[in-house]
A and B are shown apart, each in its own frame.
Chain A
Amino acid sequence: MRERTNEQWLADLRGPNPDEALADLYDLLVRGLRAGLRSYGGGVDANAEDFAQEALIKITGNLGSFRGESRFTTWAQKIAMNVALTELKRRRWRDVSLQDLFARREAGDRGPADTQLTPEQLALQNTVLHELRRMVDEELTDRQREAVVAVLLEGMPISEVARRMGTNQNALYKLLHDARKKLKRRMEAAGLSPQEVLAVFDEG
């Protein structure tokens, strides 16, 4: 592949004969995708071409948003990783609905206390647990609770929870940020420091 400056990439891709630049960019994206997604295991390699093709369309359609603050190829790879990972997450979580996730949680183990605890420690844990439950209940909206449980407690990707809640990743991150801020303020107001809570739960 021929080396190009950012300006040359843009000029070639926008020019009357973009085929060579498109082919070079496509090859670069495929190699980048193979390397970038190696940890995602089998199947990804076979999809690298599809992801590169989809990314190429996005990249050439958004050349105007490249501001030249990085190398053009890094910017293009960023878009390719986003395309690929969005799709891989969608596939991995395809069969999991929020309803299933919540139902499993309800049916699941309530997290019995460590039997090594003294009655005093157990009582303290129960008090803190009760207090935190009340904070979650009183401070958060229904949507914030859903997002907190699915993303922060159950580890589902934000983008996948967002899809199920009829919103997008960016908006859901903001909703979670607001939820975390509310809980933080409430804990501060109640004089309950995170360090204390972690110490009570033996994680200090």
Chain B
Amino acid sequence: MGLAVRSEEELKRSFAMLKRDDVVKLVRVVAETRDIEISCDECFERLDIFAEMELSGVEASAAMPLVGDHLDKCADCRSEFEALLSASRST
């Protein structure tokens, strides 16, 4: 009986306790995970080339699958890619 005392370790981890609503989100990203993925810097390095392919009507994700995959997974890089497309179309 008595109050359950949580260890420091448990307290530190409790924010990470998965909720029911988290399960689908987490499992989806885990399912999409590949052994080989490029990092944000590597994606940025090729983003201009990728964008020009896309703008010229080439299926850029087929030509540069690792960049396409990274853009599917990384919202930060995806937003830069979309902004670059809009910018390139207008100038």
Interface residues of A, Cβ cutoff 8 Å to B: 28, 31-38, 69-71, 73-75, 77-78, 80-82, 84-85, 89, 102-103, 105-106, 108-113, 125, 128-129, 132-133, 136-137, 140, 142, 145-146, 148-149, 152-153, 155, 157-159, 169-170, 173-174, 177, 180-181, 183-184, 187, 194-195, 197-198, 201, 203
Contact = CB atoms under 8 A, between A and B. Distances in A.
B3 interface: no
Given A78-B48, A153-B25, A180-B30, A38 B86 contact: yes
A155 B25 CA distance: 10
B90 A31 contact: yes
Contacts of A157: 75-76
Contacts of A105: 15
A198 B28 contact: yes
Contacts of B18: 129, 132-133, 136
Interface of A is mostly: helix
Nearest to B14: A106
A109 B22 CA distance: 12
15 contacts: A35-B86, A36-B83, A69-B48, A74-B48, A78-B84, A106-B15, A111-B19, A111-B20, A132-B18, A137-B16, A152-B26, A153-B25, A170-B39, A173-B40, A184-B31
B80 interface: yes
A34 to B, nearest CB: 8
Contacts of A173: 39-40, 74
Contacts of B74: 158, 173
Contacts of A89: 76
How would you classify the secondary structure of chain B's contact residues: helix, strand, loop or mixed?
helix
A28 B87 CA distance: 9
Contact of A136 (B16, B20, B24, B41): B16
Nearest to A157: B76
A2 B83 CA distance: 24
Contacts of B25: 152-153
B14 to A, nearest CB: 6
B78 to A, nearest CB: 10
Given A32-B88, A177-B37, A197-B27, A85 B79 contact: yes
B91 A35 contact: yes
B44 A183 contact: no
A78 B90 contact: no
B13 A32 contact: no
B67 interface: no
B47 to A, nearest CB: 5
Contacts of A152: 25-26, 29
Given A113-B20, A133-B18, A194 B48 contact: no
Contact of B86 (A36, A69, A169, A197): A36
A38 B20 CA distance: 36
